[in-house]
Amino acid sequence: MPVSSAYQPDPQFFGLGPEFGDPVQAVDFPMHRLVWRDQRAAESVGLETLSDDEWVAHFGRFETLPNMAQPPVAMRYHGHQFRTYNPQLGDGRGFLFGQLRDQKGRLLDLGTKGSGQTPWSRQGDGRLTLKGGVREVLAARMLEAQGVPTSKALSLIETGENLIRSDEPSPTRSAVLVRLQHSHVRFGTFQRHAFLDAPERLTALVDHCAAVYYPHLQALDGPERAAGLVRDVALATADMVAGWMAAGFVHGVLNTDNMNVTGESFDYGPWRFLPVADGNFTAAYFDQTGLYAYGRQPEAGLWNLKQLAGALTPIGELDSLTEAVRAYPPAFAQAQQAALLRRLGLQFAAEPDDNRTMLDAMFAFMARSGVSWDGFFHDWFGGLVSEARALAGPRADDYKGEDFEAWFKWLDRFQPERPDRLSHPYFQGAEPVSLVIEEVEALWAKIAEDDDWSGFHQKLADITSLREALAEGCSG
Ligand code: AMP
Ligand code: MG
């Protein structure tokens, strides 16, 4: 069956003109084997009715979707990589395939990864490894389950090529991924037009983002609109980074080309989830200084926002841009508390200071005891109502001593949020679903060695159970 009646193409970005993207074509792959289609995400944009053959035609061979822009474009951008400016970036292995509205009327991009070379590939082959694709599906699902703003891996298709990579045993299998996210306009997209001294294009891009993503900004003019955009992006970024901190997610490569205007986690590369509380935990082997370590992610968000504001100085006012960036630290502090309390299944305490005090004591206990990050949140979901369960569970031995008591004594100031969720079967299990590196490597090893996908599918089913457990009883 073709697309459903909910399908609403709206290729907005393509209208910005040739300075924003270059027409490209996908490579002709030797094989197309459908590995994953996110049927839930597909439903949100009217693509759930595609047969598997039609799906592969659009997301493996990139035949144009009905009434969609043609051809797709590799987006142009620059960016700071590990704080060094690189004017040679751009979509080197992906493109914007189309844009469409979801059921709520919000615009979504269909962005590819691994679809072949583009004018921005430099020395790269334009490809994605199957392992990279599998990792992106898992990480995005895990963050989505925990309510963290993220792109969704809509489609993963194995493509039958052999790739050479320094960070995987090679040759390694290839794949092409399509992700859905609200925008692929990066901080680095603005940086490019600032670097090339093109204020009219900066204005066009700000106007585009205001019209499509932040319509209330249209009431502002010129410099105020630019500052308003920075402020809105700062708030969205604060929410996203706060979500990572509660999930124990370490993105790994927080360059300015990997942060977008709608504040969604994307471009999953060497990400990891924390095994235990550790501010210095680093995901990427090439991040030797720990620049993007778990505990430095909030600061990386701020640094990147400063670059975004800096890029807008040709069309903005320094004072109001600076002021806009200043919205980030307090918004992050508040969002981090909210995200951690949400992860604990607790309401804010009546006395505002108690929130910070309890959460600081919690992190101190977790770091010193080395208790499993995910295990701790699983055991103590709902706070005191879970005391008996936590103390009877596999981590009971961790829950004693001075550091533990220093945290535990605050708990009676916190009420559970929707404790009915504890009756979900997910919380009857002693172990949480987690995605620490050993688990990811183990499920990948089964695929690599025996083409056995059972571990991958089991993990996705467990993540779905987590999502349902956390959402149960809530209207959204
Ligand atoms: P990333 O670290 O994925 O954000 O990528 C940084 C830059 O390198 C972007 O311009 C990518 O498009 C490009 N890139 C990464 N991997 C490849 C590849 N295999 N082939 C071509 N370009 C790539
Ligand atoms: Mg990138």
The tens digit of pLDDT for each residue in 335-361 reads 999 999 999 999 999 999 999 999 999
Question: What is the torsional sign of CA 49, 54, 56, 57?
Answer: negative
Q: Whose CA is nearest to atom 22 of ligand 1?
A: 92
Q: Is 465 exposed, middle or buried (0-12, 13-18, 19+ CB in 10 A)?
A: middle
State the ligand closest to the CA atom of 124: 1
Residue 91 alpha carbon to ligand 1 centre in Å: 7
Q: What is the Å distance from ligand 1's center to 256 Cα?
A: 13
Residue 255 CA: nearest ligand 1 atom is 4
Measured CA to CA, the distance from residue 17 to residue 382 in angstroms comes to 52
Q: Is the dihedral of CA 301, 307, 312, 316 positive or negative?
A: positive
Counting every residue written for the chain, the total comes to 476
Kindly report the protein residue whose alpha carbon is nearest to atom 14 of ligand 1.
Answer: 92
Burial category of 323 from C-beta neighbours within 10 Å (exposed 0-12, middle 13-18, buried 19 and up)? middle
CA of 446 to the centre of ligand 1 (A): 27
Query: CA quadruple 372, 378, 381, 385: dihedral positive or negative?
Result: negative
pLDDT below 50 — which residues of the chain?
474-476
Angle CA 299–132–77, to nearest 5 = 55
Over its C-alpha atoms, the chain yields an Rg (Å, rounded) of 22
Cα–Cα distance, 209 to 218 (Å, whole number): 10
Residue appearing with tokens 């040759």:
171
- 186 CA to middle of ligand 2, Å? 9
- Whose CA is closest to atom 3 on ligand 1? 267
How many CA atoms lie within 13 Å of 194's alpha carbon, on the beta-carbon side? 19
Q: Of the ligands numbered here, which is closest to the C-alpha atom of 95?
A: 1
Cβ atoms within 10 Å of 154's Cβ, excluding its own: 27
Atom of ligand 1 nearest to the CA of 120: 10
3-state secondary structure of 37: strand
Distance 125 CA to ligand 1 centre (A): 9
- Look at residue 70 in the predicted model and tell me its pLDDT: 85
Ligand nearest to the CA of 93: 1
Residue 88 three-state SS: coil
Ligand 1 binding pocket mutation candidate from 121, 131, 164 (most atoms within 8 A of CB): 121
Full-model pTM: 0.97
Catalytic residue among 109, 257, 287, 374: 257
Nearest residue CA, atom 8 of ligand 1?
Answer: 92
Peptide bond into 352 cis (omega under 30): no
In the residue annotation, 232 being an active-site residue is answered as: no
Residues 6+ apart with CB under 8 A from 64: 70, 98
Q: Shortest CA distance to 192 belongs to which of 20, 22, 325?
A: 20
Cβ contact 151:264 at 8 Å: yes
| DSSP-assigned letter for residue 473 | T
Distance (Å, whole) CA 85 – CA 80: 4
Residue 257 Cα: closest atom of ligand 1 = 4
Place of tokens 């590369």: 269
- Going by alpha carbons, the residue nearest to atom 12 of ligand 1 is 92
- Distance, in Å, from the CA atom of 404 to the CA atom of 388, rounded to the nearest integer, reads 15
CB 27 within 8 A of CB 116: yes
Residue 243 structure tokens: 């979500």
- The sign of the torsion formed by the CA atoms of 339, 341, 345, 351 equals negative
Evaluate whether 115 touches 95 at the Cβ level (below 8 Å).
yes
434 backbone φψ class: left, alpha, beta (φ>0; ψ -120 to 50): beta
Q: At residue 144, what are phi and psi to the nearest 5 degrees?
A: -60, -40
Which numbered atom of ligand 1 lies nearest the CA of 126?
Answer: 20
What is the three-class DSSP state of 380? Answer: coil
Which residues lie with the beta carbon below 6 Å from any ligand 1 atom?
A: 89-93, 120-121, 124-127, 253, 257-258, 267, 269
Nearest atom (ligand 1) to Cα of 128: 19
Closest ligand 1 atom to residue 117 Cα is 21
Query: CA 464, CA 175: separation in Å to the nearest integer?
Result: 24
**Residue 80 CA, ligand 2 centroid: distance in Å:** 11
**Measured between alpha carbons, how far is residue 237 from residues 127, 224, 228, 274, 299 in Å?**
29, 20, 14, 20, 11
How many angstroms separate the alpha carbon of residue 285 from the centre of ligand 2? 17
What is the number of the ligand closest to the CA of 113?
1
> What residue owns the CA closest to ligand 1's atom 1?
267
Q: What is the distance between the alpha carbons of residues 337 and 357, in angstroms, rounded to a whole number?
A: 11
